[in-house]
Structure 1
Amino acid sequence: MSYRLDLAVIEQQAQQSRFSLTLHNLTDQALDNWSLHFTIGRWIQPDSLAHGKLEQLGSYCILQPGSNQPLAPNSHFYTEFVCGTAPFTLFDDGIPDAFLSTEATGSYITPIPVEVTTIDLQQPPQERFTTQLPPAKAINLIPAPDALQQLEGVYALNRHSAIAEPCDAAMGSCRWLQTELSSLLHEDMPIKQAGNIAYQFNDQLAEGEYKLIVEAENIWLQAGSAAGFTHATSTLLQLIPTKPSHQVQAAYQIPMVEVHDAPHYHYRGMMLDCARHFHPIERLKFLIDHLARYKFNTFHWHLTDDEGWRIEIDAYPELTRIGAWRGPNEAIVPQFSTISQRYGGFYSKQEIRDFISYAQDRGIMVIPEIDMPGHCRAAIRSLPDLLVDPEDQSRYRSIQNYPDNILSPAIKGTYTFIANVLDEVCELFPSPYIHVGGDEVPEGVWTDSPGCQALMEEHGYQDPKELQGHILRFAEQHLQAKGRRMMGWEEATHGDKVSKNSMIFSWQSEKAGLECAKAGYDVIMTPAQYTYLDMAQGFSAEEPGVDWARKLPLDDVYTYQPLAELPSSDPAHQHVKGIQCALWCELVNSQSRFEYMLYPRLLAVAEISWTAPNKRNWQDFKARLNGQLAYLDKAGINYRHCE
């Protein structure tokens, strides 16, 4: 590589750190009229720069030397700067990508590659965090079932097996099982009138409850609901060994068991951020297979954000023509990684319909998230004539370092946009819930807008936060008219305008969820300190991920129990409807890292969501996890090894 970029820690304090940045010209040619383009996940204080001039938008920085002096051959440019941040402890805190440009400002950019070295953290190395796993058990179901009895003998699954024609409630589960068994046996699994794998409707079993009976000649999957049949199917799939028996020709020997089981929480979800980095449909389907296998029932699809708009909207083709792409020569500037290229993608309506159908067969409800009024930069840049208030002179900076990513409550276009987008989203997604975000609206927004000030006076609002509630109440009422229930992050309650019918996701802390539950909101608990799977899984600098909430090893994920310190008699417990984990993807841009961040922690979330606290046991879980690793290996999943 002809150019190299080094970042090093110089000094660290509790909430402020100083860094050195060195650009090396390793060629024998001078570099004229240059600017350095790079990304970093923290805000660089512009006036702290020792040499040069810096512009930053989101994570994207453009550094100019401050003079027209060329960067001489075999020389370097050096500067220092300050970030108001806690000390860096991870290599991922450094600069993930960079390139050079020699074009004048505003010209078409032709990126020049730069090698980015690993950040020098100026700290002693720490050992990799490990979790010692005991020997696997004979049967290793995750999540742990309510009641399991192992019997003597096995059922031989082979090419003579067949699925009996299912009842209506089991049709989706039957298609899923047929797909899995056909792949396993390398031939089509038939469905016959008298098959020996039978779905039986049992109206004595509650929603989600199931019984699974494996006998020597037959397998019985019993439930009184489509969800129950899905759960029975997932248990059966886990009972199938990873290899066929050598004693019985081409047969997978399934242990004879009786299982009776039901979920502790009705809502068991995972959120995936597809806006920061785009994840192709096949990756999502592979994930859905495993969410179903471990008895999740909800996929929360984060489709829009500042860095990308990923859903096709007929009313506004610009959202995907412009908003789905970023790059050095795009309307949306680069962010995070691959910054020298045009990057992006979106899901067509047909892809979304097919994906929803695929998930439904596996018992997974797909909930879309269309973020508002914050995290809207991709939409605003795509539709400036509709969404920009030219009279608004407010100055703010969002937590992700954007000064222009908030919808205005003072212009008609905002409400036209919200209504048209939500209409198409409701037509596309059958889910009774639509998530609208509502988080991270910064201080300073709307304060220097004549239209916003007039709106506040008209409605008697005293705090600009009430304008956030004003927009979200419009969205809620629009969704209610379509028979849908609004979901939002905990900040959706700011301004006290949305009704208690809205369901709230508490992400900043356990306390936030408790406050919302006590206020009468139904709550999904997703505190970052226990359920955000983009957090690093250990304490060594090599661990991928972030740590703004904490380092989050597998051991700590498993300890989570919502409102554990609250007396069981407290009515707030009745408002906790479930648990959700999240994978935010600022740093997740490959299948390998995607899987590494999820597994095996996803299995711990599965158990804390499904299994009653008094049935959970850490030592037992570790043994069952050890038994699951052979399947993860067979599936080719790049999980983090525990030991």
Structure 2
Amino acid sequence: MSFRLDMTVIEKNTAAIRFAITLHNLTDKALEHWVLHFANSRKLNAASFTGGQLEQQGSYCVFTPNNAPVLAPNSSFYTEFEINTTAFSFHDDGINDAFLSSTIEQTQLVPIPVEVTTVDLGASPVERYTTPLQPAKDINIIPVPALLTPLSGQFTLSAATIIAQADPLAESAIRWLQSELELHFSLQLTLQRNGHVHYQLSEKIERDGYHILIEEDHIWVQASTAAGFTHATASLLQLIPLDADSQNSYSIPMVEITDQPHHNYRGMMLDCARHFHPMVRLKSFINQLARYKFNVFHWHLTDDEGWRIEIDAYPELTSIGAWRGPNEVLEPQYTHLTQRYGGYYSKVEIRELIQYASDRGLTIIPEIDIPGHCRAAIKSLPHLLLDPQDQSQYSGAQNYTDNILSAALPGTYQFIATVLGEVAELFPAPYVHIGGDEVPAGAWEKSDACQTFMAEHNYQQTMELQSHILRFADEILRTKGKRMMGWEEVTKGGEIDNNTVIYSWLSEDAGLASAKKDFDVIMQPAQFTYLDLVQGYSPDEMGVDWAGKLPLDKVYSYHPLANLATNDPIHHKIMGIQGALWCERIDTQQRFDHMIYPRLLALAEVCWSQPNLRHWDDFTARLNGQLQYLNKAGIQYRHCE
């Protein structure tokens, strides 16, 4: 690499940290009229930069040196600046990517690659956080079943094993069983009228629960719902040893299991806007969610950094909004700064994924984030969504100054009605999530159109404009037979219908407050469920730490509603639990796997199992038994020890 960028902590104060950046020219040629482009997710103090000017939009920073200096051969340029933050603890907090450009006779940016070194934190190294595991058990099902009774003997699974024809409710589960047996065990089991593996419909089984009895010559699976058969299959798959006894035969321990979920809603959210995840990754992830008995995949499809869903009425959303880069309408963000980066999911692909998930017992809930986090949409459809007279000054959590829909533009409502209409038609789920989070203070305040709109509707606070937009979205969804969902902020700024489902992410208390207002609630407290949080204290840990550290044992320690009396009626307003992976820093399969596994397995047990059945040492023993599967599946999980 011909250029190198170093970042060093040089001073730590209570309210701010001072950094130095050194840009090295390692070539024998001078670079004239240069500009430095780099990515850092923190809000940098632009006024504090020495020797030049900084502009920042999101994570994308552009530094222009004063007086157009020449970067001479084998020389360097030095600048200092501040960030109003507590001390950095992790290398991920540094500069993620960078490039140079020259302004000489160029109509487009021609990126010059720059090597970015690991930030010097100016701190003593911290040992990696480890999680000692207990020895694996003979039976290692996760999440732990309600009742499991080991029996004496084994059932031999081989290519000669036949699955008996079953009730139509079991067909998807049987197809999944056949698929997994072929993928992981090279077994192709046939389906015949009589067989050894029996899926039986039983109205005696609790909804979405199941019963398994494994005998020497037969396996009996009973459930009353399609979901119950899927959950039974997940447990059955975990009973199969990964190593063949001989000639592709596998000894399954004889056992009797009776099981049912503790929480009806067991979800996992994936952010596909900040970084694009290909379909093969999504399918693999959904397959793992099914294995560990999740039943909802919450698909975050739109945000400031990218629009990922095909909308027929607005092709610009994907031709423009799905892509970012040095010469795109959307600037580069986070990583891949020198490239045209992005992607989107066609409706054909989405329908395929919906069916794939459904076959594994999962419902896909789409999220279209409004009225904030809309920069990709606004940049794609400025003729519809941009208010050029809006002089409002704001900066949101991700450092954007132009990402909020205007409540006063007719185009906003045309856009919402059209997009939600197509989304509702595409997704069979009874819900659509509309975001509703992180609209910053200052939005709409200096828009003459919005101020007039407020006066016409007798609104006193600008946040009432958010509620106005969300009530419109709710009306559209109702006409399509859908129920609106949103982050906890949707309850701020005015009345919305309490048929809306609230996702509580800042804390459990926020969720309980919504439940007391008669909203149904999904608990998703970041401190226990955000898998983008770092997993330890050493500087090389991947992730963010705004909500603290989240090692495996802390995920497992989460006991939802632990301080709520068992007879409190609020329990009936809590639909379930959800985890999340926000992907500002998740751009590779390796990072994806490292952040999710094995914490996903701990979260699965939090969602599914009765609290009195959860014991840490027992879990780590069963987790130890699951690692062989994760290895065979090629999952690059964070090692515990």
Q: Aligned to 1:566, what secondary structure does the other structure show?
A: coil
For residues 593-614 of structure 1, the C-alpha deviation after alignment (integer angstroms, 9 at most, x for no partner) is 1000000000000000000111
State whether residues 155 and 214 of structure 1, in contact with CA within 8 Å, keep that contact through their aligned partners in structure 2. yes
State whether residues 535 and 549 of structure 2, in contact with CA within 8 Å, keep that contact through their aligned partners in structure 1. yes
Change in Cα spacing, 1:14 to 1:518, as seen in structure 2 (3 Å) is: farther
Distance 2:465 2:185 in 1: 58
CA drift at 1:453: 1.1
Distance 1:4 1:290 in 2: 40
* 1:284-299 matches, cutoff 5 A: 284-299=282-297
1:406 aligned partner, one-letter code: I
Residue 198 of structure 1 pairs with residue 231 of structure 2: no
Distance 2:89 2:69 in 1: 35
Query: Equivalent residue for 2:580?
Result: 582
Residue 356 of structure 1 pairs with residue 371 of structure 2: no
For residues 546-578 of structure 1, the C-alpha deviation after alignment (integer angstroms, 9 at most, x for no partner) is 101101100100010122122223222221111
State whether residues 159 and 185 of structure 1, in contact with CA within 8 Å, keep that contact through their aligned partners in structure 2. no
2:550 aligned partner, one-letter code: L
Distance 1:173 1:138 in 2: 25
Q: Aligned to 2:44, what secondary structure does the other structure show?
A: coil
2:39 aligned partner, one-letter code: T
Query: Equivalent residue for 2:39?
Result: 39
CA drift at 1:287: 0.5
Query: Equivalent residue for 1:124?
Result: 124
Query: Equivalent residue for 2:145?
Result: 145
1:304 is matched with which residue: 302, 305, 311? Answer: 302
Distance 1:428 1:14 in 2: 51
Distance 1:491 1:106 in 2: 45
Distance 2:155 2:462 in 1: 65
For residues 229-288 of structure 1, the C-alpha deviation after alignment (integer angstroms, 9 at most, x for no partner) is 110010001101111113xx4211111110000000000010000000000001010011
Distance 1:534 1:321 in 2: 29
Q: Aligned to 2:172, what secondary structure does the other structure show?
A: helix
Query: Equivalent residue for 2:48?
Result: 48
Change in Cα spacing, 1:187 to 1:139, as seen in structure 2 (3 Å) is: closer
Distance 2:49 2:461 in 1: 36
1:20 aligned partner, one-letter code: A
The number of residues matched between the two structures is: 641
* 1:242-391 matches, cutoff 5 A: 242-246=242-246, 249-391=247-389
2:546 is matched with which residue: 541, 545, 548? Answer: 548
CA drift at 1:477: 1.4
CA drift at 1:13: 2.8
Change in Cα spacing, 1:415 to 1:268, as seen in structure 2 (3 Å) is: same
State whether residues 498 and 518 of structure 2, in contact with CA within 8 Å, keep that contact through their aligned partners in structure 1. yes
CA drift at 1:103: 2.6
For residues 136-195 of structure 1, the C-alpha deviation after alignment (integer angstroms, 9 at most, x for no partner) is 111001000000001111111101112111211111111111111222443532111112
Distance 2:495 2:413 in 1: 16
Query: Equivalent residue for 1:71?
Result: 71
Query: Equivalent residue for 2:454?
Result: 456
State whether residues 305 and 330 of structure 2, in contact with CA within 8 Å, keep that contact through their aligned partners in structure 1. yes
Distance 2:177 2:153 in 1: 22
For residues 433-492 of structure 1, the C-alpha deviation after alignment (integer angstroms, 9 at most, x for no partner) is 100000000000111112211221122211111100110111111111211111100001
1:521 aligned partner, one-letter code: F
Percent identity at matched positions? 59
Distance 1:498 1:215 in 2: 54
State whether residues 302 and 370 of structure 1, in contact with CA within 8 Å, keep that contact through their aligned partners in structure 2. yes
1:491 is matched with which residue: 489, 493, 497? Answer: 489
State whether residues 158 and 187 of structure 2, in contact with CA within 8 Å, keep that contact through their aligned partners in structure 1. no
CA drift at 1:202: 0.3
2:345 aligned partner, one-letter code: Y
Distance 2:416 2:104 in 1: 38
Change in Cα spacing, 1:520 to 1:14, as seen in structure 2 (3 Å) is: farther
For residues 18-38 of structure 1, the C-alpha deviation after alignment (integer angstroms, 9 at most, x for no partner) is 111110111111110000000
Return 433-442 or 10-19, whichever deviates more: 10-19
Q: Aligned to 1:609, what secondary structure does the other structure show?
A: helix
Query: Equivalent residue for 2:59?
Result: 59
CA drift at 1:615: 1.2
Q: Aligned to 1:82, what secondary structure does the other structure show?
A: strand
For residues 44-76 of structure 1, the C-alpha deviation after alignment (integer angstroms, 9 at most, x for no partner) is 111111221111110001111111220111111
What is the root-mean-square deviation of aligned Cα atoms in Å? 1.1
1:37 aligned partner, one-letter code: H
Residue 163 of structure 1 pairs with residue 186 of structure 2: no
Return 101-110 or 80-89, whichever deviates more: 101-110
Query: Equivalent residue for 1:107?
Result: 107
* 1:394-543 matches, cutoff 5 A: 394-543=392-541
Q: Aligned to 1:63, what secondary structure does the other structure show?
A: strand
State whether residues 97 and 337 of structure 2, in contact with CA within 8 Å, keep that contact through their aligned partners in structure 1. yes
2:520 aligned partner, one-letter code: D
For residues 501-524 of structure 1, the C-alpha deviation after alignment (integer angstroms, 9 at most, x for no partner) is 000111112221121122211111
State whether residues 37 and 62 of structure 2, in contact with CA within 8 Å, keep that contact through their aligned partners in structure 1. yes
Change in Cα spacing, 1:14 to 1:38, as seen in structure 2 (3 Å) is: same
State whether residues 310 and 347 of structure 2, in contact with CA within 8 Å, keep that contact through their aligned partners in structure 1. yes
State whether residues 213 and 220 of structure 2, in contact with CA within 8 Å, keep that contact through their aligned partners in structure 1. yes
State whether residues 158 and 185 of structure 1, in contact with CA within 8 Å, keep that contact through their aligned partners in structure 2. no
Distance 1:208 1:419 in 2: 35
Distance 1:104 1:304 in 2: 36
State whether residues 472 and 497 of structure 1, in contact with CA within 8 Å, keep that contact through their aligned partners in structure 2. no
Distance 2:105 2:196 in 1: 71
Q: TM-score, normalised by structure 2?
A: 0.99
Distance 1:7 1:118 in 2: 7
2:426 aligned partner, one-letter code: L
CA drift at 1:496: 2.7
Return 569-578 or 230-239, whichever deviates more: 569-578
Q: Aligned to 1:423, what secondary structure does the other structure show?
A: helix
State whether residues 489 and 507 of structure 1, in contact with CA within 8 Å, keep that contact through their aligned partners in structure 2. yes
Distance 2:153 2:564 in 1: 45
2:457 aligned partner, one-letter code: H
Q: Aligned to 2:76, what secondary structure does the other structure show?
A: strand
CA drift at 1:104: 5.2
2:62 aligned partner, one-letter code: I
Distance 2:238 2:187 in 1: 20
Distance 1:158 1:36 in 2: 62
CA drift at 1:14: 3.4
Q: Aligned to 2:236, what secondary structure does the other structure show?
A: helix
Segments of 5+ residues of structure 1 without an aligned counterpart are none
Q: Aligned to 2:502, what secondary structure does the other structure show?
A: strand
Segments of 5+ residues of structure 2 without an aligned counterpart are none
Q: Aligned to 1:151, what secondary structure does the other structure show?
A: strand
1:96 aligned partner, one-letter code: N
Query: Equivalent residue for 2:232?
Result: 232
Query: Equivalent residue for 2:11?
Result: 11
1:411 aligned partner, one-letter code: L
1:342 aligned partner, one-letter code: R
Distance 1:454 1:106 in 2: 44
2:160 aligned partner, one-letter code: H
2:97 aligned partner, one-letter code: D
Distance 1:340 1:264 in 2: 48
1:127 aligned partner, one-letter code: E
State whether residues 103 and 110 of structure 1, in contact with CA within 8 Å, keep that contact through their aligned partners in structure 2. no
CA drift at 1:15: 3.3
1:503 aligned partner, one-letter code: V
